[in-house]
Chains A and B, each alone.
Chain A
Amino acid sequence: MIIIGEKINGTIPVVKKAIEEKDEEFIRTRAIDQSEAGANYIDICAGTAPDLEVETLKWLMDIVQDAVDKPLCIDSPNPRVIEAVLKYAGKPGIINSVSLEGDKCEVIYPLIQGTDWQVIALTCDNRGIPKDVQTRIDIAKVLVEKAASYDIGPEKIHIDPLVIALATDNTSLFSFVDTMKNIKAIYPMIKVTSGLSNISFGMPLRKVINQNFLTLAIYAGMDSAIMDPCNRDTMATLLATEALIGRDRFCKNYNGAFRKGKIGPKKEK
């Protein structure tokens, strides 16, 4: 599983506050904590007003890249902001995200043509988030075909099928899994990703729903997740699932994480 650490996001109140107060240490610590917990990429989202977004993203990127060695996942709804900050990234990471809304693909794809950058592609368009599986598949196809016209292969694309809240749609998990399987049947090398918390919106004990969603989604073939690697229960769920489905030879990662105290009861210091 590819873990994209979600904790440096200006829409989270404590992060928003740190951005406003220019609290470098807070951001740095969050980057290090996520990296040590097992994040493969660190998501960076400013979440500020548009006029401050470029400046804020650069500030965050500089701190995170100074603190950890992990590649970034640059997160903005505005492709032109991503265009403006991409040059500050020390190494290729992931762009979060494109979709068929507006001219996102047309701005982002040329930027990463011929590079090792990957991209998260959401299955939505100007009409919003599709209700059905087929529309998601159709959008994914267009997203991949457009990428191909810039020589960007499916292996560089993480499709996010945009999970719907279970509270509003009883079949939301099945829709996700169906979409994933269909897209993978067409593009075997493509990656499928998801956030973990959309599914549980409006429900009590959200973390239980999120963790079980994670297990089922990994089992069904999900490749990456935008999640909190510092949440020990989530990480334990992830590692246990990977061990159970035979992706963790000799349970090395699971046992290793336990030994290092990353999962299970916190060890006395």
Chain B
Amino acid sequence: MDLKQLSVAVGELEEEKVSELLNEFVATNPEMEDAQKVLVACQEGMGIVGEKFESSEYFVADLILAGEILLTALNILKPVIGESSSVKKGKIVLGTVRGDLHDIGKNIFKNMADAAGFEIYDLGIDQPAENFIKKVQEVNPEIVGLSGVLTLAVDSMKDIVDGLKEAGLRDGRRIIIGGNPVTEETCKFVGADAFTTNAAEGVKICKGWVS
């Protein structure tokens, strides 16, 4: 498996090529470890897509297509990537925060966390604190994931964390924030437990919390 070639194919949005490469790979009955590497290569491809979007070479529909390609990739890899056991690792309530409509990063995280065995409750985009509170009350998740790309998302994230606190739902629960604007400082400001700009790392953090 030429991982570089795979990353480029994802980056260039070559749907058929990606599926072809991954199907060939899965047909070789690969080790879980190799499958993880392949997944990372796909994520690197998404990184290329992100860069091209930043530089105005790609447009919104291209991002959505990229998300679709990754979803297909994950579905192809699912049987060899392991950890798709029926016993769920834990629950995550997830959403893009109010004022922000970006969901590609969130969806990548969602798909990867799902593949890693989490039970995901995805609220969608532009979600205010009350929706998070409602869902947390309903499903009592171990983890809450807040996603956003715009800088204004940081304030919304804080509102949500504050809201959870006020509702008495913060304790005994982990909160992870993800997306372009998050840093260690924002993490502190928001009152989250962890931050990441990398979906794969986010999943790793979540796994660490529930193991």
> Which chain A residues have a beta carbon within 8 Å of chain B's beta carbons?
249-252, 255, 259
Contacts and interface: CB of A to CB of B under 8 A. Distances in A.
19 contacts: A249-B65, A250-B61, A250-B62, A250-B64, A250-B65, A250-B68, A251-B59, A251-B61, A251-B62, A252-B13, A252-B61, A252-B62, A252-B65, A255-B58, A255-B59, A255-B61, A255-B62, A259-B57, A259-B58
Interface residues of B, number: 9
Interface of B: 13, 57-59, 61-62, 64-65, 68
Contacts of B57: 259
Considering residues A250, A251, A255, which has the most beta carbons from chain B within 10 angstroms of its beta carbon? A250
Task: Give chain A's interface secondary structure class.
Answer: helix
Considering residues B13, B58, B61, B68, which has the most beta carbons from chain A within 10 angstroms of its beta carbon? B61
B11 to A, nearest CB: 13
A249 B15 CA distance: 12
Contacts of A251: 59, 61-62
B48 to A, nearest CB: 14
A268 to B, nearest CB: 15
Nearest to B59: A255
Nearest to B52: A259
User: 10 shortest A-B CB distances, which residue pairs?
Assistant: A250-B65, A251-B61, A250-B61, A255-B59, A255-B62, A250-B64, A255-B61, A259-B57, A252-B65, A250-B62
A255 B13 CA distance: 12
Nearest to B57: A259
A246 to B, nearest CB: 12
A249 B16 CA distance: 14
B49 to A, nearest CB: 12
Contacts of A252: 13, 61-62, 65
A252 B62 CA distance: 7
A250 B13 CA distance: 11
A250 B58 CA distance: 12
A255 to B, nearest CB: 5
A241 to B, nearest CB: 16
Contacts of A250: 61-62, 64-65, 68
A87 B155 CA distance: 72
Contacts of B62: 250-252, 255
A250 B72 CA distance: 15
